[in-house]
């Protein structure tokens, strides 16, 4: 479902927005650094901390995400459904490596621990109209 | 009038979008085609040189001009894979020489540590976030956070790509490119650079190997020069030292010989290593004890000075000791003018009874010509305990048991010049020896006992198990036996056949084989006087070959020769070792000309004649050898075969079944009992029932 041209928006150059909702209907909006491209029908979010987003998703798997292309500033709207978490494997390793690379540069090795790679199924994708 | 409809806004957008997609795909395709050409060119350039600097230059050149990476560097790992040193770079001004990145730090460092390609396009954003957290932690008092020094490269790189260079599991280094723009590298860049990276890795590895090879050869040259200088000085000092050392060595050798001689007097030589290691334990063994006593020595030596008496006696002891040793006996002690010898110590022996009897016979045979006095011998077999006996500084390898005393008493009742053995001993010796019963006597400790005198070995002609009295051989060819004996003593006097045969109790085997062989040859000749090939064989050579065909036995362990438990592989090995030893012995005694025939004989017996054709001499020898092996009593086989059975077995050999063999047929005719028929069943074709 995801076209190739969305890939630049999933490099973490500009922050992405994640919207979740608890079972009793209270929404939560937060910005994260990157939504990862897994394959045509899946994306992944890194799970590092326990927080409201995480709690909501555990109750209610439906998530909305906005990703932004760092060069064109093109926005994409994604509707996602939580599928499963991975604590090892190539996806986890990739995320973990990047975390390690950045943390080591700022003297923060070992501070940030990647708990899991949460994989989501893409339910729909929509390119937002550019308003120039 | 037709109304022109404007395409809907969404459709137009769609067309624009499609065009964009098409353009992008075309660009991708063009890149892909170029890709292959680029890789090929880079690859061939890198492979054209072994110089490291050149390879680095080519690689960076390619990354810049061909792939379009403006800022690139090649990092090489140190030996311990702890640091990455910037070996070459492009697109930077003033990159510090000897700049280094610790393995595990940053994109390049983590790519190296994990040996995995890494591509990041959002470094700035990520650093800002994490750096912010870090600052807050620091403000809150967490001071364990380590400070990281500035990394070589672009100060604010947003995008970085690191390709680890690994050859045969060794980390060679990292290929790194970076950009100030975020999201500067895509999947395609990653794939391209990975492919180039592989080429570069191999090229660098080759160059490094080449370098170390050059280093190594230079090191060797220096080492060699130093070594030859050292040699010269060394030779001079060695000469001086050698003279000193050989004097000291002679001294030590003399001491060692002295102490060994002392030791040998107290125990059999096989036991000495065990004694030295304090590992000798007393054991129960089945042995044969021999007592000798000189007759008429007192009379002979009366009136002699002590010196002369001792000199005569010691001469006797020396001669007797050598003979006893030849038959693997152990001189336990001297008792006045007598000797006590034990056969079958310190290790179990299958032949101790016959060894003792043969020793006694040999001594008696030669006594008369050697010494002006007679001798009595008493032999008994029994179980004794053997071990080191006596106070610590005067201990002796000794045997204890009733069997010892009985042997001594048997010696007392022995006729002069005879060899007296106990009844049980006689039973064991009967297959090979001629025995005569002595009068029944009271032997202290046992009671009435009929001992036997060993007259000598059974003669071949009188041994009905070997030679049937009604055979043609017995009728016409007995003189051959004497001829062989004469040849043996005249031409091969240097070989003690009996002691050789005693090892596996193949007594008179060689003489028997020689007799049968020569008799068969002559029988064949008389059947067809002008007939080849029998006419061309030399009798003397044939006899010599027969007598010496297993002369190598002296070098093989009796235990091995008498091993009943050998499987076919073991027997093959034994046969091979016996052949090798025999060939060596033949060379030692100057009978090299017999070697080809002997080797062929062993090949015949190993393959039962199936391995090709053989010389006629070999046929004759094989027939006789196999026949005697079957009919004569031995230790390692069960009961001997009857003559008729043995002859039938000869005719059943694959060798004889393939075609008519005159040597075998004539041999059988010669040896068979007069009234028997040896059935020969030739292999026929299909049997129609």
Q: Per residue in B410-429, pLDDT tens?
A: 999 899 889 999 999 999 99
A84 to chain B nearest CA, in Å?
Answer: 25
A vs B: CB pairs below 8 A: 90
Given a cut of 80, whether residue B273 has pLDDT beyond it is: no
Domain spans, chain A: 4-127
Dihedrals φ, ψ of B457, to 5°?
-70, 145
- Cα dihedral B237, B243, B245, B250 in deg (nearest 10): 170
| Of B685 and B646, the one with more pLDDT | B646
Above pLDDT 70, what percent of chain B?
Answer: 92
The 3-state DSSP class for residue B15 equals helix
Handedness of CA B646, B651, B652, B655 (dihedral sign): positive
ipTM above 0.90, yes or no: no
Dihedrals φ, ψ of B289, to 5°?
-110, 140
Is B251 a member of any domain? no
Put simply, whether B109 touches A (Cβ < 8 Å) is: yes
Given a cut of 70, whether residue A130 has pLDDT beyond it is: no
B137 and A111 in contact by Cβ < 8 A? Answer: yes
Residues B173 and B70 reside in one and the same domain? yes
Residue A69 near residue A8, CB atoms below 8 Å? yes
Residues B407 and B529 reside in one and the same domain? no
Mutate to test the interface with B, among A6, A104, A128 (most CBs of B within 10 A): A104
What residues are paired with B173 via a beta bridge? B76, B165
Residues B376 and B439 reside in one and the same domain? yes
Helix/strand/coil (H/E/C) assignment for every residue in A42-100: EEEEEECCCCHHHHHHHHCCEEEEEEECCCCCCEEEEEEEEEEEECCCHHHHHHHHHHH
- Give the CATH number for residue B70: 3.30.450.40
Mutate to test the interface with B, among A93, A105, A132 (most CBs of B within 10 A): A105
Residues B180 and B285 reside in one and the same domain? no
Range of the domain at B480: 472-671
* Rama region for B447: left / alpha / beta (φ>0; ψ in -120 to 50; rest): left
Task: Report d(CA B548, CA B510) in Å as an integer.
Answer: 7
What residues are paired with B90 via a beta bridge? B72
CA proximity to B649, closest of B666, B630, B634 = B630
- Report the side by side order of strands in the sheet with A116-127: A27-32, A16-21, A62-68, A75-86, A116-127, A42-47, A36-39
Is B252 a member of any domain? no
Task: Return residues 32-91 of A near B (CB < 8 Å).
Answer: 33-34, 70-71
Angle at B216 between CA B212 and CA B220, to 5 degrees: 170
Question: Other CB atoms closer than 10 Å to residue B461's CB: what's the count?
Answer: 17
- What pLDDT is stored for residue B534 in this prediction? 82
A23 to chain B nearest CA, in Å?
Answer: 30
Pick from B165, B196, B211: which residue ends a domain?
Answer: B211
B195 to chain A nearest CA, in Å?
Answer: 20
Band the pLDDT of B687: cuts 50, 70, 90.
Answer: very low
Length of chain A: 132
- What pLDDT is stored for residue B146 in this prediction? 59
Residues B426 and B481 reside in one and the same domain? no
State the average pLDDT over residues B116-130.
Answer: 83
Residues B608 and B508 reside in one and the same domain? yes
pTM of the model: 0.52
A111 and B134 in contact by Cβ < 8 A? Answer: yes
From residue A78, give the alpha-carbon distance in Å to each of A43, A124, A125, B45, B115: 10, 6, 5, 47, 34
Please name the CATH architecture into which domain A4-127 falls.
Roll (2.30)
Is B190 a member of any domain? yes
Residues B309 and B411 reside in one and the same domain? yes
Residues B441 and B502 reside in one and the same domain? no
Residues B537 and B651 reside in one and the same domain? yes
Question: Who among B104, B110, B126 is closest to A33 (CB)?
Answer: B126
Task: Report d(CA B153, CA B75) in Å as an integer.
Answer: 11
Helix (H) or strand (E) holding B604: helix B595-607
Neighbouring residues of B499: CB distance < 8 A, sequence distance ≥ 6: B326, B327, B358
B192 to chain A nearest CA, in Å?
Answer: 18
Residue B623 near residue B665, CB atoms below 8 Å? no
Domain tally, chain B: 3
B122 and A70 in contact by Cβ < 8 A? Answer: yes
Put simply, whether A128 touches B (Cβ < 8 Å) is: no
Is B147 a member of any domain? no
Half-sphere exposure of B155 (CA within 13 A, CB side): 2
Pick from B426, B457, B488: which residue ends a domain?
Answer: B457
pLDDT digits (tens, 9 = 90+) for B531-561: 678 888 889 999 999 999 999 998 888 888 8
Q: A59-68, B116-125, B608-617: which has the highest mean pLDDT?
A: A59-68
Residues in chain A within 8 Å Cβ distance of B146: 107, 109
Is B231 a member of any domain? no
Task: Report d(CA B71, CA B150) in Å as an integer.
Answer: 17
Put simply, whether A104 touches B (Cβ < 8 Å) is: yes
State the average pLDDT over residues A23-44.
Answer: 91
Residues B280 and B369 reside in one and the same domain? yes
Question: Who among B126, B147, B182 is closest to A102 (CB)?
Answer: B126
CA proximity to B129, closest of A34, A65, A40 = A34
Question: Who among A12, A13, A108 is closest to B145 (CB)?
Answer: A108
Is B679 a member of any domain? no
Least confidently predicted of A37-51, B406-420, B613-627, B673-687: B673-687
Given a cut of 90, whether residue B271 has pLDDT beyond it is: no
A105 and B106 in contact by Cβ < 8 A? Answer: yes
Cβ-in-10-Å burial (0-12, 13-18, 19+) of B7 comes to exposed
Residues B566 and B642 reside in one and the same domain? yes
Question: Who among B111, B116, B182 is closest to A13 (CB)?
Answer: B182
């Amino acid at each position: 479902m995801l076209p190739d041209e969305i890939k630049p928006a999933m490099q973490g150059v500009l922050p992405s927005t994640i919207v979740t909702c608890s079972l009793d209907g209270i929404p939560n909006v937060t910005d994260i650094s990157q939504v990862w491209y897994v394959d045509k029908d899946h994306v992944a979010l890194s799970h590092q901390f326990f927080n409201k987003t995480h709690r909501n998703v555990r109750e209610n798997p439906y998530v909305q995400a906005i990703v932004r292309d760092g060069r064109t500033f093109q926005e994409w709207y994604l509707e996602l459904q939580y599928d499963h978490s991975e604590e090892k494997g190539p996806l986890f390793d990739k995320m973990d490596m990047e975390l390690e690379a950045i943390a080591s540069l700022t003297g923060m090795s070992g501070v940030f621990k990647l708990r899991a790679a949460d994989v989501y199924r893409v339910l729909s994708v929509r390119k937002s109209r550019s308003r120039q | 009038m037709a109304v022109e409809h404007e395409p809907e806004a969404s459709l137009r957008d769609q067309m624009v979008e499609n065009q964009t997609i098409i353009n992008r795909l075309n660009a991708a395709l063009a890149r892909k085609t170029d890709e292959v050409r680029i890789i090929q060119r880079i690859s061939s350039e890198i492979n054209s040189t072994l110089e490291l600097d050149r390879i680095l230059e080519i690689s960076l050149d390619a990354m810049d001009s061909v792939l379009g990476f403006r800022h690139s560097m090649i990092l090489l790992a140190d030996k311990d894979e702890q640091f990455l040193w910037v070996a070459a770079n492009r697109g930077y001004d003033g990159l510090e020489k000897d700049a280094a990145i610790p393995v595990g730090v940053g994109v390049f460092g983590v790519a190296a540590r994990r040996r995995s390609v890494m591509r990041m396009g959002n470094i700035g954003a990520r650093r800002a976030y994490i750096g912010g957290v870090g600052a807050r932690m620091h403000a809150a008092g967490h001071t364990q956070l380590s400070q990281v020094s500035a990394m070589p490269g672009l100060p604010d790189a947003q995008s970085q790509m690191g390709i680890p260079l690994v050859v045969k599991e060794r980390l060679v280094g990292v290929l790194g490119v970076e950009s100030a723009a975020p999201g500067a590298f895509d999947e395609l860049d990653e794939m391209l650079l990975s492919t180039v990276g592989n080429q570069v890795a191999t090229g660098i590895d080759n160059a490094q190997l080449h370098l170390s090879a050059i280093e190594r050869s230079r090191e060797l040259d220096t080492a060699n020069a130093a070594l030859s200088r050292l040699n010269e000085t060394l030779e001079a000092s060695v000469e001086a030292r050698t003279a000193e050392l050989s004097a000291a060595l002679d001294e030590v050798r003399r001491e060692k010989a002295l102490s060994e001689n002392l030791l040998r007097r107290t125990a059999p030589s096989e036991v000495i290593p065990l004694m030295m290691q304090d590992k000798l334990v007393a054991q129960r063994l089945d042995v044969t004890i021999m007592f000798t006593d000189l007759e008429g020595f007192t009379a002979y030596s009366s009136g002699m000075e002590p010196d002369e008496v001792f000199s005569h006696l010691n001469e006797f002891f020396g001669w007797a000791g050598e003979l006893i040793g030849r038959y693997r006996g152990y001189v336990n002690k001297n008792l006045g003018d007598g000797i006590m010898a034990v056969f079958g110590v310190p290790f179990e022996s299958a032949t101790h009874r016959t060894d003792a009897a043969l020793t006694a016979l040999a001594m008696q045979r030669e006594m008369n010509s050697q010494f002006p006095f007679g001798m009595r011998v008493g032999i008994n077999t029994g179980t004794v305990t053997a071990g080191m006996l006596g106070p610590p500084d005067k201990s002796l390898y000794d045997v204890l048991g009733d069997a010892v005393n009985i042997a001594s008493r048997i010696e007392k009742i022995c006729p002069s010049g005879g060899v007296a053995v106990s009844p049980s001993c006689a039973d064991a010796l009967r297959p090979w020896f001629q025995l005569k019963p002595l009068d029944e006597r009271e032997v202290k400790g046992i009671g009435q006992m009929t001992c036997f005198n060993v007259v000598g070995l059974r003669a071949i002609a009188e041994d009905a198990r070997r030679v049937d009295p009604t055979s043609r051989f017995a009728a016409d060819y007995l003189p051959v036996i004497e001829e062989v004996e004469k040849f043996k003593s005249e031409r091969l006097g240097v070989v003690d056949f009996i002691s050789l045969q005693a090892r596996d109790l193949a007594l008179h085997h060689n003489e028997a084989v020689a007799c049968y062989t020569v008799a068969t040859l002559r029988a064949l000749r008389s059947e067809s006087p002008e007939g080849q090939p029998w006419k061309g064989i030399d009798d003397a050579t044939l006899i010599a070959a027969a007598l010496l065909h297993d002369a190598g036995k002296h070098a093989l362990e009796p235990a091995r020769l008498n091993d009943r438990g050998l499987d076919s592989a073991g027997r093959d090995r034994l046969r091979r070792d016996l052949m090798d030893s025999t060939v060596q012995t033949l060379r030692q005694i100057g009978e090299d000309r017999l070697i080809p025939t002997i080797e062929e004989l062993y090949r015949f017996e190993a393959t039962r004649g199936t391995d090709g054709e053989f010389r006629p001499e070999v046929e004759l020898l094989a027939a006789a050898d196999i026949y005697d092996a079957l009919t004569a009593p031995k230790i390692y086989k069960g009961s001997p075969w009857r003559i008729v059975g043995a002859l039938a077995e000869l005719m059943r050999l694959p060798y004889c079944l393939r075609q008519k063999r005159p040597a075998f047929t004539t041999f059988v005719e010669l040896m068979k009992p007069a009234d028997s028929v040896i059935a020969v069943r030739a292999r026929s074709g299909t049997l129609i029932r």
